[in-house]
Amino acid sequence: MSIPLLGYAPKSQNVRVAGYEVPGDEQPRVYSVENLLSPTDMDNLIEAAYRQIFFHAFKSDREKFLESQLRNGQITVRDFIRGLLLSNTFKNSFYNKNSNYRFVEQCVQRVLGRDVYSEKEKIAWSIVIATKGIEGFVDQLLNSDEYIENFGYDTVPYQRRRNLPGREQGELPFNIKSPRYDGYYRAILGFPQIIWQTEVRRYVPQDRKPRAGDPSLYLDMARSLPQRANVPPKVSAMNISLDKVPYRK
């Protein structure tokens, strides 16, 4: 008998009310198969799904079989998102490198498009991971009423309500606020690295940089040459002979 999902509630009543938002540059772009007009739009939708789940997908990280099924209409966008969440890339980059609590936080951000409400929600979903595994956790997230109501079967998840009217700056993107690796694994992998610069670099505009044939390009070479100038010998005044001194007769 599996343990049912524990109850959790939002910390603020504001999330229960639909927000009135004026369209602008900070509004997230919605990618859905309902408004595809060309094959390029499908490419953009697939790239948006990779950015939402992986943040960035290298050539070796791409799921060609899932992409082919999505292009041919054999699976929905929701199934494509499920395949990315259960891929080896996502498991190795997020599930294996984080605790269950942090993994829950990252999945809720990427799948439901919002931050976790509280620690109770982290605990509730962590119990699902412990009892049903990662596949049961992903299925329960995608089958939740919140996901179906906001994204359905044909829309790529996105970060909802980034533009906050009561603040000068909206919400940060999830990939910046919640990086892929935890602090423990970031220390093992050796980043972020602090590089101390001992010399001051000067910026020279392009129009002021010396061109080919400019004498300033050979200044260092000229300074490295040995000095061969004839230096006059030092003669003391006591050793000067009066016979050698010219005088008028």
pTM above 0.75, yes or no: no
pLDDT, tens digit, 9 for 90 and up, residues 113-156:
888 888 888 999 999 999 999 999 999 999 999 999 999 999 99
pLDDT at 163: 53
pLDDT at 225: 80
pLDDT at 45: 92
Distance (Å, whole) CA 241 – CA 239: 6
What contacts 9, CB < 8 A, 6 or more positions away?
Answer: 117, 118, 120
Q: Cβ atoms within 10 A of the Cβ of 45, count?
A: 21
What's the average pLDDT block by block, 10 residues per block, for the chain (249 residues)?
Answer: 64 54 63 81 91 84 91 92 93 87 91 88 91 93 92 90 56 68 64 62 78 83 76 68 65
pLDDT at 220: 81
Tell me the backbone φ, ψ of residue 168, rounded to 5 degrees.
Answer: -70, -30
What contacts 153, CB < 8 A, 6 or more positions away?
Answer: 76, 77, 78
pLDDT at 224: 82
Distance (Å, whole) CA 14 – CA 107: 22
pLDDT at 36: 79
pLDDT at 154: 92
pLDDT at 202: 74
Domains annotated on the chain, with CATH: 26-181 (1.10.3130.20)
What contacts 240, CB < 8 A, 6 or more positions away?
Answer: none
Give the residues across from 155 on adjacent strands.
32
In 3-state terms the chain splits into helix, strand, coil percentages (rounded to 5) of 50, 0, 50
Q: What is the CA radius of gyration of the chain?
A: 34
- Amino acid of residue 133: G
pLDDT at 26: 59
pLDDT at 167: 55
Q: Is 100 helix (H, G, I), strand (E, B) or coil?
A: helix
pLDDT at 151: 92
